[in-house]
Structure 1
Amino acid sequence: MNFKISKKEIVSVMNRISRIFAATVVLPAYRGIRITANTSGVSIVVSDGTVSMQEFIDTEIEIYECGECVVDGRLFFEIVKKAADGMIWIRKEGKLLKLKSNKAEMKLVIFAEEQYPNIDFSFPKNSFSAAASALEDAIDKTIFSASDQQTRPVLGGLNFHITKQDCTITGSDSYRLSRIVIPAIGQKESVLTIPKKMLSLFTDIFSGDEELYLHFSERKALISSNNIVLQSVLLEGAFPDTSKLIPNKFETALKLETEKLIDALDRTAFNKEDGVTIIGLELLTDELLITSESQEVGSSIESIEYIEVEGNQEVCFHCNQQYMLEALKALHSKTCILHYNADNKPFIFQPDDDKEHVQLLLPVRRR
C-alpha cells in the first residue's frame, strides 16, 4: 500500500472517524482503523463494536500501490494532525506503516489484520426516507432524554415508530420523555431503537435539505450519504409504550414566554444539593413564582409574568431544574404551553405552534 494524500483531507476524515473511538474497548482490535487503498481511492473503517463507520476518500489523493493495513486509530490521527501542511506520504513496509511529511517520518506498528472484525456494510432491505434537516432537528429535540445509564439498555437510544407517512421519535430515561413526529415515507410500519451514539454522530455528519434513507433490519440501522456509511447495531428489548405515559387531558394550560422562563431557571443553577437543583413553580394571581432552596448553598426566588392561563389556576410543584431547562431549550419556540394536572402527576411542555412535539417531565417530591 502506497499513496499520498493532503493533510487537510485526511484530518477532515479523521475528525469524523475519531468520534467513534471508545474510551474502553471490548476487543483490542477495536483500537484500530482499517485503511484500504484501491485504484479509486482510500477507505477508512472504524468500529467500537456497536457503531461502525466507513468513509471513502477520492479527492486530493494519489494512489501508487493498492493494499490495506490496520493501525492504532488514535496514534494515526495524532500523527496526521501534527504533520506539516501539504501532502502526506503513507506507505506500508513490512510490519510498519510509514507516514512522511516534509522532512519528518513517523512509523506505526501494524496490527494483525486477521484480528480486525469483518464489518458488513451491506444495505438492509427495509428503509424509510426523510429530509436530513427534519431528521437532524428531531434528533436534537429528543436525544437528551435518552438514558446514559446501563440499567435498562433499551432506553439508551431513540425509538423510531415508522409508518407510511410519518415517523414518531421518542427518547426517555424514565424520569422524562421527549417525543416528536416528522413527515417520512416508510415501506411498512416498523419499530426500532437506535443507540444515541450513532444518532449524535448523524447530526454532525449529515445535514442540509437532501432526502436521506435510513436502512434497517432486525439487527442494524444504516445511513449513507456521499462517501460516508454510518451504521449501528440496534438496541435489544421492548421500548416502553410511552403513549400510555402522556395524559390525554389536563386541568391547566399556562402560556409563557419561553426565553423568560429559561433565563429565570438558569439563574437558579447555583443552588445545587448533591449536584442537582430542585426548583419549585407556583402560579400566583398575575405571575409564576420560581424558587429554589438548599440547606448547603442558599435560596432563590423570582417571579415572571405569564401570557394567559386556562382552567384550574392551582399550580404548585417541584422538578429537576436541568431537565426542565433542556426540555424548554428543545422547543425552539417563542412561546410555550405548560399543561398541568397535579403535583404528583406528569406535566408537559409544548411549543405554542407544534402539537406534535411533547416534552414530558415527572415532578419531584420534596422531603
Structure 2
Amino acid sequence: MKFEINRDELLDALNDVMKAISQKVAIPILTGIKIDIEEKGMTLTGSDSDITIRTFVPTEKDGEQNIKVVEKGSIVLQARVFNEIIRKLPTNNVMIETETGLQTHISSGKSEFKLIGSDPEDYPILPDVKDDNSFSMPSDLMKSIIRETVFAVSQQETRPILTGVHWEAKEGKLSCVATDSHRLARRLTSPDEMPLEPFSFVIPGKSLQELNKILPDNTESVEIIIADQQVLFKTRNVLFYSRLLEGNYPDTSRLIPDESKTSVTVNGRSLLQSIDRASLLAREERNNIVRFSAGEGKSIEISSNSPEVGKVEETIEAITITGEDLNISFSAKYMMDALRAIDGQDITIQFTGAMRPFILKSANDDTILQLILPVRTY
C-alpha cells in the first residue's frame, strides 16, 4: 500500500472515526483504525463493537486531487498514535506506505515515522445491513431529535434498556422517547418515506451523542436502515453503525397525563434564567430543589432555600395562569434541561397536582413534550 494524501482531508476523516475508538475493548485490534486504499479513494474504519464508524475520502473532490494512489492495500494502525502523528505533521502533504510485513512509513516534509501495524484480515467484518427496512430524514431534524431527547436517558446500568432512546413508528409517525424514570422527553415527527411496517427499537444514548457530533448542520439527507440488533445511519461519506439495546421498553404513554388542574403559559427563556438563579443556592443541596408557586393574577414565584447557604425568591410574570393555585417542588437540573430542549419559546406547563407528574410543551407546537416528576419536600 502506498498513497499520498492531503493532511486536512485525512484529519477531517480521522475526527469522525476516532469517535468510535475506545481503549477499553475486549478485542485488542479495535484500538486501531483500519485504512483501505483503492483507486476511488480511502476508507477509514473505527469500532468499539457497540458503534462502528466508516468514512470515505474520495480521490478527487470539487475538481481537486485529495489522494494520489500509487499502490492499493490495507493496514490497521494504532488509532491514538496515528491520530496524534497526523495532527502534528509539519506540512499538508502526507505520504503513507506499508513496507515489508506490517511496518508503515509516514512522512511529511522532513518528518518520518515508522509504525508497526496489524493485519487487516484480523479486523472484524462490518455487519451486513440490507436496506429493505429504511427511511430518511434531514440531518438538522435528526440533530434536533437527539438534542431534545437524549439528555433524559438513564445514566444507571441497573435498567440497561433505559440508557437508550426508544424509536417507534406507527401509521407513518415516528415517536422518540427517553426516560430515566424521574423525567421523560418525547419528540414526534413524520419523516418522508417511512417504512410500511411498524418498527420499535432502542438506540443507546451514547451512540446518539456520538452520531450528533458527526452529522452536518444542514438539510442533507440521512438514511436510517434497521436490521437485527443493528441500526445504520448513512450520509454521503459516513456510515455510522450502532448496536441496539435488547429488551422491552416500558409503555410510557400511560405516564403522560391527559388532563390538568393548573395551566401556566410563560416565556421559556425568562423561566430558565429564573430557575438558573434559584439553583445557585439549591446546588449545595443533594437534590438541587427549586419551588414553584402560582396563584391569583399572572405572577409565578420561584424560590429556593438552603439552610446552610441562604434563600432566594424571585417573581416572574406569566402570559396566562388558569386553574387551581399551585405549590410544587422539582429538580432545578431536570427543569432546566427540559426548558433548553424546548429552546426559549413560550411554553405551556400543565400540572395535575403537587405530587403528580407535570408536562411542558411549546405553546405553539405539540411535537416536543417534556415530563418531570415533582419532589416531595414535606
**TM-score (ref. length: structure 1):** 0.95
Which of 198, 203, 208 is matched with 2:212 structurally? 203
2:289 counterpart of 1:282: no
Taking the aligned partners of 1:113 and 1:212, their CA distance within structure 2 comes to 29
Do the aligned partners of residues 73 and 105 (structure 1) sit closer, same or farther apart at CA in structure 2, a change above 3 Å counting? same
Distance 1:111 1:289 in 2: 63
1:139 has 2:139 as partner: no
Task: Pick the aligned partner of 2:310 from 261, 273, 298.
Answer: 298
Report if the CA contact (8 A) 1:127-1:187 is conserved.
Answer: no
C-alpha separation in 2, matches of 1:276 and 1:25: 35
1:256/1:308 contact within 8 Å kept: yes
Residue of structure 1 in register with 2:176 after alignment? 169
* Mean Cα deviation higher: 38-47 or 282-291: 282-291
Is residue 31 from structure 1 mapped to residue 31 from structure 2 by the alignment?
yes
Q: 2:332 aligns with which of 321, 324, 328?
A: 321
Asked if 2 retains the 8 angstrom alpha-carbon contact of 1:44 and 1:54, the reply is yes
1:17-51, CA deviations, whole angstroms, 9 ceiling, x for partnerless residues? 11222252232222111111112111111111111
User: Residue in 1 aligned with 2:258?
Assistant: 248
Matched with 2:86 is 80
1:166/1:186 contact within 8 Å kept? no
Matches of residues 1-367 of structure 1 in structure 2 within 5 Å?
Answer: 1-22=1-22, 24-58=24-58, 59=60, 60-93=66-99, 94-120=101-127, 122-184=129-191, 185-207=194-216, 208-271=218-281, 272-273=283-284, 276-286=287-297, 287-312=299-324, 314-366=325-377
**How far 1:109 moved relative to its partner?**
1.7
Q: CA deviation at 1:296?
A: 3.6
Asked if the contact 1:51/1:197 (under 8 Å) is kept, the reply is no
Aligned residue type for 1:36: D
Q: Specify the code of the residue in structure 2 equivalent to 1:132.
A: S
* 1:90-140 Cα distance to aligned partner (Å, 9 max, x none): 111223222111100112221244443222253342112223322221221
d(CA) in 1 for partners of 2:244 and 2:44? Answer: 23
Contact 1:123 1:222 in 2 (8 A): no
Contact 2:279 2:290 in 1 (8 A): no
Bigger shift: residues 346-355 or 269-278 = 269-278
**Preserved contact between residue 172 and residue 196 of structure 2 (Cα < 8 Å):** no
Question: AA paired with 1:25?
Answer: V
Query: 5+ residue gaps in structure 2?
Result: 61-65
Task: Name the count of aligned residue pairs.
Answer: 366
Structure 2 CA distance, aligned partners of 1:26 and 1:9?
Answer: 31
Amino acid at match of 2:123: Y
Aligned equivalents of 1:27, 1:86: Cα separation in 2: 33
State the AA in 2 paired with 1:205. Answer: I
C-alpha displacement at 1:180, in angstroms?
A: 1.2
Q: Tell me, in whole angstroms, the C-alpha distance in 2 between the residues paired with 1:206 and 1:221.
A: 15
Note the C-alpha offset of 1:362: 0.5
- Counterparts of 1:101 and 1:122 in 2: how far apart (Å)? 38
Question: What is the alpha-carbon distance in structure 2 between the residues aligned to residue 36 and residue 353 of structure 1?
Answer: 50
Indicate conservation of the 8 Å contact 1:273/1:294, yes or no.
yes
Offset, 1:164: 4.3
Distance in 2 (alpha carbons) for counterparts of 1:50 and 1:88: 31
Distance 2:29 2:236 in 1: 27
| Aligned CA distance change for structure 1 residues 61 and 361 (closer, same or farther; 3 Å) | same
Alignment deviations for residues 171-193 of structure 1 (CA, whole Å, 9 cap, x no partner): 11111100011112223111111
2: CA distance between counterparts of 1:206 and 1:329? 20
CA distance in 2 between partners of 1:110 and 1:224 (Å) = 29
Q: Measure, in 1, the Cα distance between the counterparts of 2:36 and 2:288.
A: 51
**8 Å contact kept, 2:262–2:350:** yes
In the TM superposition, residue 219 of structure 1 has moved relative to its aligned partner by 1.1
> Structure 1 residues 165, 80: CA separation in 2 closer, same or farther (over 3 Å shift)?
same
Please tell me the residue identity of whatever aligns with 1:280.
R
Any conservation in 1 of the 2:137–2:222 contact (CA below 8 Å)? yes
Cα distance in 1 between the residues matched to 2:38 and 2:333: 50
Q: CA deviation at 1:256?
A: 0.6
SS in 2 for 1:268: helix
Matching residue of 2:63 = none
Inter-CA distance 274–124: structure 2 relative to 1 (3 Å threshold) = farther
- Secondary structure of the residue aligned to 1:186 is coil
Structure 1 residues 121, 206: closer, same or farther in 2, change over 3 A? farther
Distance 1:72 1:275, change over 3 A: farther
